Amino acid sequence: MLNRSIDVALQVAPTDLSVLITGESGVGKETFPQIIHQNSPRKHGVYIAVNCGAIPEGTIDSELFGHEKGSFTGALADRKGYFESADGGTIFLDEVGELPVPTQARLLRVLETGEFIKVGSAKVQKTNVRIVAATNVNLIRAVSEGNFREDLFYRLSTVPITVPPLRERVEDILLLFRKFAGDCAEKYRMPPVHIDDNEARELLLAYRWPGNVRELKNITERISIIEESRAITADILRYHIPNLQAEKLPVLLTQGREQKVFSNEREILYQVLFDMKNDVNELKKLVHDIISGKVPMHVAEEAFVHQHPIPAPAPIEEAVPVVEEENLSIEDMEKDMIRKALEKHSGNRRNAAADLRISERTLYRKLKEYNLDNITE
């Protein structure tokens, strides 16, 4: 599947068609725009990579399209935007799904006519750029939810390229491990690490790699620097990948419920909490029905034990009040996780966003939404 994606990139490179690259975070989407640019007639032109998720919403229009002097507070001089600077070249818009809706309208105009207007100006300017975009967001879902323009989606995805996650191309894991080990050895002038142990090789291949190629590179470099032995064993891998065994079980099974595959540990935690909440609510309802005389005790016990294979509760001798349901909303859990991530990184929002696997702009939005702006670096 990866070879097919590379073939498509090489075939579309000589044209000026827009390309949309999709795939999970860390799969290496950023290499495809470079392949396209280097194999296109624009290879001698400017190549600019823009991380749309890292630019605050209030300044992204100025960054992309430029601004006139005095157009806003702090605009002390005229400034060229990326589209003007990259005229005749290629612009790579990473995390394009994070673009604000007003900016999406401006980008659509560039794609359709090659025209843009600087912030604070009334003059229409022309640019000739090749746009390659990438995202790990499901843009079709974003369109249906009103967070992404449908017309812009179809303009960007003239040629779609999907980069598969590392767990779906297991044959690349050992090759990439050797490459990263060789690169690290060359950079730091040391012998490269290698895997000769069959058990270690099997563990490396069995791991799900939720962080994809980026995670593999980080772990390979960490092992190369920290470990004195150049021969990597299974014990060394287990030390550097502590959740190795847990990641081999990506499916959470609950009797009587539909199987679901989770993409990260946070989703598993959410599901466990929701399942616990549902079980408690069912038990409360049974207790209420028993107290009110709607359901006999033995019938309630049989029904609950049938659905939940745990020891039946002891008979209730006295009436107990029904406790109000606790609020286990996603918002509360998100707030708690954001607070913990910021505490872990001493208020550093960039590191906290990386730990939460969201963009900085998304983190800023969440802080404002949950009134957590007082948490600063």
pLDDT digits over 36-89, tens only? 999 999 999 999 999 999 999 889 999 999 999 988 888 889 999 999 999 999
Q: Average pLDDT over the chain, rounded to whole?
A: 82
Tokens of 282: 């069912």
Ordered DSSP codes for 304-339: HHHHS-SPPPPPP-S--PPPPPP---HHHHHHHHHH
At 274 the pLDDT is 64
User: Do 146 and 199 belong to one domain?
Assistant: no
At 260 the pLDDT is 47
User: Do 127 and 238 belong to one domain?
Assistant: no
User: Do 174 and 157 belong to one domain?
Assistant: no
pLDDT in tens, 93-102: 999 999 999 9
Please give the model's pTM, rounded to 2 decimal places. 0.63
pLDDT band at 252 (very low <50, low <70, confident <90, very high): very low
79 is a domain residue: yes
The CATH number covering residue 351 comes to: 1.10.10
Q: H/E element holding 126? A: strand 124-126
> Domain span at residue 353?
330-369
Q: Whole-angstrom Cα distance, residue 85 to residue 116?
A: 13
How many percent of the chain have pLDDT more than 70?
Answer: 76
pLDDT in tens, 270-329: 566 667 766 777 776 766 666 656 556 555 555 555 555 545 454 544 444 444 444 556
At 307 the pLDDT is 53
Of the residues 247, 277, 312, which one is the last residue of a structural domain? 247
Of the residues 118, 147, 164, which one is the last residue of a structural domain? 164
255 is a domain residue: no
Is residue 341 scored above 90 in pLDDT? no
Q: Average pLDDT for residues 333-357, to the nearest whole number?
A: 81
User: Is pLDDT larger for residue 336 or for residue 221?
Assistant: 221
Q: Average pLDDT for residues 201-213, to the nearest whole number?
A: 92
Of the residues 216, 247, 278, which one is the last residue of a structural domain? 247
User: Is pLDDT larger for residue 165 or for residue 320?
Assistant: 165
With 0-12 CB in 10 A as exposed, 13-18 as middle and 19+ as buried, what is 220? buried
Rounding to the nearest 10 degrees, give the CA dihedral for residues 179, 180, 181, 187: 110
Q: Average pLDDT for residues 129-140, to the nearest whole number?
A: 95
User: Do 116 and 176 belong to one domain?
Assistant: no
At 337 the pLDDT is 82
Tokens of 270: 């959410």
At 17 the pLDDT is 95
User: Is pLDDT larger for residue 232 or for residue 259?
Assistant: 232
User: Do 12 and 57 belong to one domain?
Assistant: yes
How many percent of the chain have pLDDT more than 90?
Answer: 55
Is residue 258 scored above 90 in pLDDT? no
265 is a domain residue: no
At 232 the pLDDT is 92
Q: Average pLDDT for residues 203-227, to the nearest whole number?
A: 93
Is residue 248 scored above 50 in pLDDT? no
Judge whether 96 and 135 are in contact, CB under 8 Å.
Answer: yes
